[in-house]
Structure 1
Amino acid sequence: MADRPSIAERRAALEREFAPWRPRTLDEQFEHAADRFAARPYVIAGDRIFSYADVRERAHRYADGLVSLGVRPGDHVGVIMANYPEYAPVKIAIARAGAVAVPLNYLYRTQELGYVLAQSSCRVLITMTSFRDMDYLAMLDELAPGWERGHTSLGELERVITFAPDGKAEGREGVVDLPELEQIGRESAGAARGGLRSPDDPSDILYTSGTTGQPKGVLLTHDALQRTSYGSAYCRALHDGNRVVFALPCYHLFAYEHAVQASLFVGGAMLPQPKFEPVHYFRAIEQHQVVDVLGVPTMSIALVEHPERERYDLSSLRSMLSGSAVAPPWLWDRIRHDLGITELVTAYGMTEIGATAMTLPEDPIEVTTSTVGRPKPSGAAGIPELGGALAEYRVLDSVTGETLPEGEEGEFVSRGPSTMLGYWNRPEDTAEVLKDGWMHSGDIGRVLPDGSLIVTGRSKELYKSGGELVMPREVEDFLTGLPGVSQAYVVGVPNDQWGEIGCAFVVAEPGQALDPAELNTACRSGLARFKVPRHIFVVDAAKVPQTTTGKVQKFKLVPIAQELLGPDAAADVRTLRTAKGG
């Protein structure tokens, strides 16, 4: 077998193909990829394989159909679709029609869906008819009776196009489904000619995942998304023909940047999973010789701890990006040892800027476990003045706003070409975080001499107990370092006497039993008194509230703790076995 290209050789190949950087829209970037890799698979769904040529043909028909139905350049088109093969051609079609895509969280409940549809100014919605226990058409019936006839009270919404995952069309009179849209496109070939927008025009409105409250629509340009996606492929030195498996939803920037888009630059294939099941990952890896895995720490933990892992041949694996949330220190060695990963990276970013900091696959494990990387080297897409990175970082004093010296702790701010234009229709929120081109993250941390970032917490997660400021991350790291503790999440809960008190939710490793009293004793021995959680709850992992991308919604843990404690919060420790039980 020929030697595999080295990391440096893979980066050099990407540089040769894309330097100097040529800004492109999403549809132009896909056309470039389809010209290069027409016969290669782009989407693999079980036993169904769709080549770049297949996806292009379908995307053209969808785009022609959308234009024939009246979609105009600049229109907002909402998309409610889980990780099905149709997602890719739908997204490309929206761009080819000159419209702005608004990918929506498919787990929104009725009122959440109504809010986002109205707030985003969607004129057209492409939606699944149902998914799991979600009935989207029933939601629309409740929100806007008569929507089938174009009479809605949901902002600018005029038309709904349906997609039945099970192939059984709803059949509502006057409602076009995806197969009919495709047929309309066949009958009006060429209606969407592409090239209708500039790379500096908006491509997507991506709604934040709601870890701290109501979602906001992040407005990103075509070029911003292409640069950060290419930067991911370059920094990680993706293999030619890279095959990546993931269950992170495509509407979220993590999967969109690192899989849907990054794959285009290396002729790779993506294996999107409609839901996260470790065994489904293992089967896909074995069957399709998957090279790469995307996940968040909760997923990574589930993979390495799954009892059936050793039944599958995972020898094709080379790479993994595990990011988007804090990982317990022990996880990194388990990923390398148990999954055979040799090129392991983590990253830092947010919907508003993309993943603009990342470790390198050749970094020592000490760097990966202790930092979230340096400003992401991005080759042709990077900025020469920034040494080829996509972003410049500073740390500010959260009170005075002054720039702090290297190594001091404060709020991360950044600027660069992948930064959002702003929040859609929320100028006050935009002005609060985007100041003179600098994006204020709300994340607390420090920058090391080599440029690496260390994240120590969220400014909104810090709490003050008895006059002392507590950083939950520090307590969480201590707890996950204790025997038998797999995960830990610490929040501050209002208290009349102390202002706030710390409450810790911990998850045990499989087969382990945790005693809250023993954990409390360990905390008292290893932490300053004001950092010791007043209450410790042992929970099942499934009971920890998360977004669909695996980010823990810590703000939801506060009312859970308040309900559990009730009017009597005197006890130092309690045990919670379920979200509702005591």
Structure 2
Amino acid sequence: MDISTLFTQAACKWPQALAIKDLRSQRELTFAELNHALDDFGAGLEELGVGKGERVALLADTSLDYLLADYGCMAHGRVRVPLDPSLAPSELLAQIKDAGARVLLFGTGHSRVAATLIEQGVVCLALDEVRVQRPADAPARDAQARTGLASLNYTGGTTGAPKAVMHTHASLCAVLQNIVMARAALPGDVLLNVRPLWPIAAVALLAHLLSGGQLTLVERFEASTFVSQLQQHRAAFSSLVPTQLLRVLREPSLAEPDLSTLKSIDIGAAAIAPSVLDDACQLFGPRLSVLYGMTEAPWTCYLSAAHMGQLRRNGESAEGLVGRPVFAAGLRIDRPDDQGMGEIMLAGPQLMAGYWQQPELSANVLQDGWLRSGDLGRIRADGHLQVMGRSKEIIRSGGKSIQPGEVIECLLAHPQVADAHVFGLADLEWGERVCAAVVLKPGTEACGEQLQSHCQQLLSRFKVPRQVYFVATLPRSHYGKIQLNRLLEQLG
């Protein structure tokens, strides 16, 4: 199967049903209109001379035009290269050059960055300049080769040289199948999208379309209006990263919001603190689902809202639990210790084909059909995967291993602490010393000694941070992950 054929099938199944609604522009497309619009975009690429197999970089906020470009590239045999708008122009330029992108298509709001890139020799065009109306008697578009490259997804954009994950039509179709089967959306179900569409979120939205569901696009996430938007648009599904979830919980809660149509809010990408999970379940009820995967292996495990609710009714916090493998996904633990914890290994047709133009790195990560995730975890007796941190984030001090998450949770329990990150720095005597970067709540004061004393009451002595740095904010990616390189630069 390929992406192009899936769009054709959806247009045949639900031609007059509403597929996408863009709240900012108030534009709407049925499934049949969406399929025609993808062909118009393909005709625009032909007119520009962008050939099949060539890379098309995309830089835009959430919009219907973005989805038409994203899906249109794949449906017509071009390679989507979604870019993170938060990156500096120099970082974007490095990724565009690494991909060998023929053209950069940009959305409104990114014209200034595009102008900078044009000065560096990048061909840049506005998204709405690409479509050409195809003749009514034009031949149907061709199916694409299953092994053909469909997407380059850059990961680690702030940690050094560009690294792009390669996904083929076959691997993305496997991802789509995993999502459709795990989420179990029905035709007509509304998915309210408040997330940026790079690097892989647009694929998750496509899975909803392939279930006959409707996408309602919100250009930018606003914590203050998220719950009311769920009610207003009678959403059955939505998705948040942990950072967004935390911001929603900090807003004044609505008095008994009507969430009768809501089936699930998918949460993924980073660990959720137990206190945050408790508050989220109190606000949304048994409607939280957790997904596990990475750009290299999207949607590999899923903990459905029903299973999450059952675990919590049984008295479990569900901390770190991400469910069982979906459909054809494989899961094992490499070199488990006596507690069953080791590196999480992933397998299945949803795996990437490798890293773009980096065969040695690909060979190090992909071994005998298994992907080394870099995550630590264990598989419980009931088959649920419990993620326990990143192998690279483990701090080894004085011969002991320290999980940063445990120390972070302790710091967050202090009444003056709003946010925290814990990491290791090289130490001649101890190998590594435990360090913490802390954001205080507005209007409060605390010193390092106070926080160290607080930790000493709750943690073993070797886990207590030896150094505490105070910062205004922690640099995070859209997915909520700390960008350690930028944090260390910030700390000097």
| TM-score calculated relative to the size of structure 1 | 0.76
One of 7, 16, 19 as aligned partner of 1:42: 19
The answer (yes or no) to whether the contact 1:461–1:471 under 8 Å persists in 2 is yes
Match of 2:71 among 83, 89, 92: 92
> Pick from 225, 230, 240: which aligns with 2:172?
225
Residue in 2 that maps onto 1:290 = 235
Amino acid of the residue matched to residue 236 of structure 1?
R
- Name the amino acid aligned to 2:14: F
Distance 1:160 1:350 in 2: 29
Correspondence for 1:391:
329
Distance 1:407 1:44, change over 3 A: farther
What is residue 487 of structure 2 aligned with on the other side? 557
Consecutive unaligned residues of structure 1, counting only runs of 5 or more, are 1-23, 148-158, 164-177, 378-388, 398-403, 564-582
Aligned to 1:277: 222
1:256 paired with 2:235, answer no
Q: 1:437 to 1:210 in 2, by over 3 A?
A: same
Whether 2:437 is the aligned partner of 1:505: answer yes
Q: Which residue of 2 aligns with 1:152?
A: none
Residues 247 and 272 of structure 1 are in contact (CA less than 8 Å); yes or no, is this contact kept in structure 2? yes
Shift of 1:513: 6.6
Aligned residues: 485
Give the residue type in structure 2 aligned to 1:327.
I
Do residues 548 (structure 1) and 486 (structure 2) align? no
Identity %: 29
Evaluate the alpha carbon distance shift between residue 509 and residue 348 of structure 1 in structure 2; reply closer, same or farther with a 3 A threshold: farther
Aligned 8 A contact 2:396 2:431 in 1: yes
- TM-score, length-normalised on structure 2? 0.89
Deviation at 1:63, TM superposition (A): 0.8
Question: Which whole-Å CA distance do the structure 2 matches of 1:239 and 1:484 have between them?
Answer: 45
Please give the residue correspondences for 1:228-247 in structure 2 after superposition, counting only pairs within 5 Å: 228-247=175-194
What is the aligned partner in structure 1 of residue 281 from structure 2? 336
Task: Could you tell me which runs of 5 or more consecutive residues in structure 2 were left unpaired when the two chains were aligned.
Answer: none
For 1:213 and 1:313, the matched residues in 2 are separated by: 46
Offset of residue 349 of structure 1:
1.0
Contact preservation (8 Å) 1:371, 1:452: no
> Cα distance, 1:212 vs. partner?
4.9
What's the CA shift for 1:188? 9.2
Q: After alignment, is 297-306 or 454-463 more displaced?
A: 454-463
The question of whether the paired residues in 2 share the 8 Å contact of 1:407 and 1:449 is answered with no
1:437 Cα deviation (Å)? 1.4
Query: C-alpha distance in 2, partners of 1:452/1:446?
Result: 8
* In structure 2, distance between residues paired with 1:409 and 1:356: 19
8 Å contact kept, 1:489–1:554: no
Query: For residues 98-146 of structure 1, what are the alpha-carbon distances to aligned partners after superposition, in whole Å with 9 as ceiling and x for unaligned?
Result: 1121112222222111111111121232223633xx71332223312xx
Residue type at the aligned position of 2:475: P
Contact 1:324 1:349 in 2 (8 A): yes
What is the Cα deviation at residue 499 of structure 1? 3.5
Distance 1:280 1:269 in 2: 20
What one-letter code is carried by the residue in structure 2 that aligns with 1:549? Answer: Y
State the SS of the aligned residue for 1:71.
coil
Structure 2 CA distance for aligned equivalents of residues 64 and 56 of structure 1: 13
What residue is the counterpart of 2:134 in the other structure? 186
In structure 2, C-alpha distance between the alignment counterparts of 1:522 and 1:53, rounded to whole Å: 61
Change (3 A) 1:417 1:552: same
Aligned mates of 1:484, 1:390 — CA distance in 2 = 46
Over the aligned positions, Cα root-mean-square deviation in angstroms equals: 2.7
User: Hey, what does 1:356 align to over in structure 2?
Assistant: 300
How far residue 309 of structure 1 moved from its aligned partner, in angstroms, is 4.4
Q: Is the 8 A contact 1:252 1:549 kept in 2?
A: no
Please name the residue that 1:369 is paired with.
Answer: 318
What does residue 207 of structure 1 align with?
154
**1:534-563 Cα shifts (integer Å, max 9, x gaps):** 2334555xx2111133322234323334x3
What SS does the aligned partner of 1:279 have? coil
| Residues 1:35 and 1:277: Cα distance change in structure 2 (over 3 Å) | same
Asked whether the 8 Å contact 1:442–1:459 carries over to 2, the reply is: yes
Q: Is the 8 A contact 1:442 1:460 kept in 2?
A: yes
Shift of 1:242: 2.5
CA contact (8 A) 1:346 1:368 kept: no
The counterpart of 1:61, out of the listed 30, 40, 65, is: 40
SS across alignment from 1:229: helix
Quote the Cα distance in structure 2 between the aligned partners of 1:189 and 1:103.
Answer: 32
3-state SS of the aligned residue for 2:318? helix
**Which of 127, 140, 146 is the aligned partner of 2:106?**
127
In 2, Cα distance between the equivalents of 1:235 and 1:407? Answer: 29
In the TM superposition, residue 209 of structure 1 has moved relative to its aligned partner by 4.3
